[in-house]
């Protein structure tokens, strides 16, 4: 009934896994918050491929995981950073993912929003080429009937010379969008190529430009997703938004307090951590729907330690921990990732992620999770 888990110093600690999972059952849609989980993709472990080749996706397992999220009342944010967009999943793969997931959402009545970027561009691009790339992806998402999320663009960050270029590109896209979109500000901790986004490395100046884009087109912006891991800055931005424009927190360090909110407002959610936390997060939001903020915090606050562990520096590799937990939870039969990113975190990192997730009761079958953790330890030559 125990497992020996490795620590970074080479020592082992004895851990006693829990035997009962946290009860979590599908339920009705939420009433107080709009909540999306940015969902991961499941690689095809039998594909004869390599990290430089196009992603080989197990479509059945990938769509099954989205049905799992929808069943618990969560929306799916598709083809986002969590799905290894730009880190193993190219635009062709993302386009196929969007088409398939949008069709599945229509079939089951699930809510879906999809990432619109410029990752079909493979080298230096002009602003006109950046705008055209955005337009191509926006058209595809709108054709599927999904809501569009205008993601931050590496190509735009490289091509823009100042705030005016961002105002021009985003203004053009918002004018032609047929339905209100979500604007996504992804910080450089998630993608170093996005440093200086909105035309300035100074966050106060960048924030002013971001808000100027929204103020010019409030009818075309459903909301914003802020992924800067700074709760105070998100609250400041949230309070400065035009009436009717939502803030979707993307802060995987401070999400309980931001979703709970204060006397001046609250954030909705679009979070990568809600991939492994799906059923627990859904239960917490349903508690919040009743007005029980303390109960919501009591259930969700203990998950922050796991989230901060998964999103520790280098933050962009949090996807590895997310997929690892999906394997332990039985949502997929293997721990393989597109681009070979299962190697992006260490064995002690996995061990701590297992311990924290098990302590929260995230595994529907704790014994299966224990057996799979022991299999990984054996593979690393660390079985005890």
Residue (of 188, 198, 191, 121) closest to 155 by Cα position: 121
pLDDT tens column, 357-368: 999 999 999 999
Q: Which residue has the higher pLDDT, 266 or 1?
A: 266
pLDDT of residue 20: 87
Two tokens, residue 230: 């700074």
DSSP symbol at 199: G
Helices (H) and strands (E) in the chain, counts: 14, 10
* 18-27, 45-54, 134-143, 227-236: range with lowest mean pLDDT: 18-27
pLDDT of residue 23: 73
Predicted structure pTM score:
0.95
The yes-or-no verdict on residue 27 having pLDDT over 90 is: no
Continuous segment of H or E residues that includes residue 367 = helix 366-379
Paired residues of 265 in beta bridges = 262
Q: Cis link prior to 94 (omega < 30° from 0)?
A: no
Question: How far is C-alpha 256 from the chain's CA centre?
Answer: 16
pLDDT tens column, 73-119: 999 999 999 999 999 999 999 999 999 999 999 999 999 999 999 99
Q: Which residue has the higher pLDDT, 211 or 384?
A: 211
CA end-to-end span of the chain: 13
Q: Which residue has the tokens 């809510």?
A: 111
pLDDT tens column, 196-254: 999 999 999 999 999 999 999 999 999 999 999 999 999 999 999 999 999 999 999 99
pLDDT of residue 25: 77
Two tokens, residue 337: 């990732």
Cα torsion 276, 106, 149, 318 to 10°: value is: 20
Residue (of 358, 364, 283, 258) closest to 74 by Cα position: 283
pLDDT of residue 119: 96
The yes-or-no verdict on residue 21 having pLDDT over 90 is: no
Percent of the chain with pLDDT over 90: 95
Q: Which residue has the tokens 């430009």?
A: 209
Q: Are 94 and 80 in contact (CB under 8 A)?
A: no
Paired residues of 269 in beta bridges = 35, 249
pLDDT of residue 371: 97
The CA distance from 272 to 85, in Å, is 13
pLDDT tens column, 175-190: 999 999 999 999 999 9
Q: Categorize the per-residue pLDDT at 28 as very low, low, confident or very high, splitting at 50, 70 and 90.
A: confident
């Amino acid at each position: 009934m125990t497992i020996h888990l490795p620590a970074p110093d080479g020592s082992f600690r004895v851990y006693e896994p829990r035997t009962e999972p946290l009860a979590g059952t599908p339920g009705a849609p939420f009433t107080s918050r709009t909540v999306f989980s940015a969902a991961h993709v499941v690689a095809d472990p039998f594909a004869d491929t390599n990290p430089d080749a196009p992603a080989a996706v197990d479509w059945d397992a990938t769509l099954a995981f989205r049905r799992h999220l929808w069943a618990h009342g969560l929306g799916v944010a598709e083809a986002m950073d969590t799905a290894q967009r730009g880190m193993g999943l190219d635009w062709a793969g993302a386009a196929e993912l969007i088409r398939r997931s949008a069709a599945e959402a229509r079939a089951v009545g699930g809510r879906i929003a999809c990432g619109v970027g410029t990752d079909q561009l493979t080298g230096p691009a002009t602003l006109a080429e950046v705008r055209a790339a955005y337009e191509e992806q926006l058209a595809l998402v709108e054709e599927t009937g999904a809501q569009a999320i205008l993601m931050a663009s590496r190509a735009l960050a490289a091509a823009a010379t100042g705030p005016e270029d961002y105002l021009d590109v985003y203004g053009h896209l918002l004018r032609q969008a047929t339905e209100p979109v979500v604007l996504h500000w992804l910080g450089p901790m998630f993608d170093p190529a996005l440093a200086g986004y909105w035309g300035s490395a100074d966050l106060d100046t960048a924030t002013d430009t971001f808000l100027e884009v929204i103020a010019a087109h409030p009818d075309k912006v459903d909301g914003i997703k802020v992924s800067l891991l700074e709760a105070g800055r998100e609250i400041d931005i949230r309070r400065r938004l035009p009436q009717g424009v939502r803030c979707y927190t993307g802060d995987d360090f401070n999400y309980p307090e931001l979703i709970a909110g204060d006397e001046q407002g609250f954030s909705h959610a679009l979070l990568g951590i809600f991939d492994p936390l799906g059923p627990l997060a859904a239960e917490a939001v349903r508690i919040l729907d009743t007005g029980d903020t303390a109960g919501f915090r009591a259930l969700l606050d203990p998950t922050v330690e796991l989230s901060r562990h998964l999103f520790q520096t280098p933050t962009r590799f949090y996807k590895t921990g997310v997929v690892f937990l999906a394997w332990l939870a039985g949502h997929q039969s293997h721990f393989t990732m597109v681009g070979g990113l299962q190697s992006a975190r260490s064995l002690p990192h996995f061990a701590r992620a297992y311990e924290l997730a098990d302590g929260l009761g995230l595994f529907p079958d704790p014994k299966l999770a224990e057996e799979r953790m022991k299999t990984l330890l054996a593979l690393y030559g660390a079985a005890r």
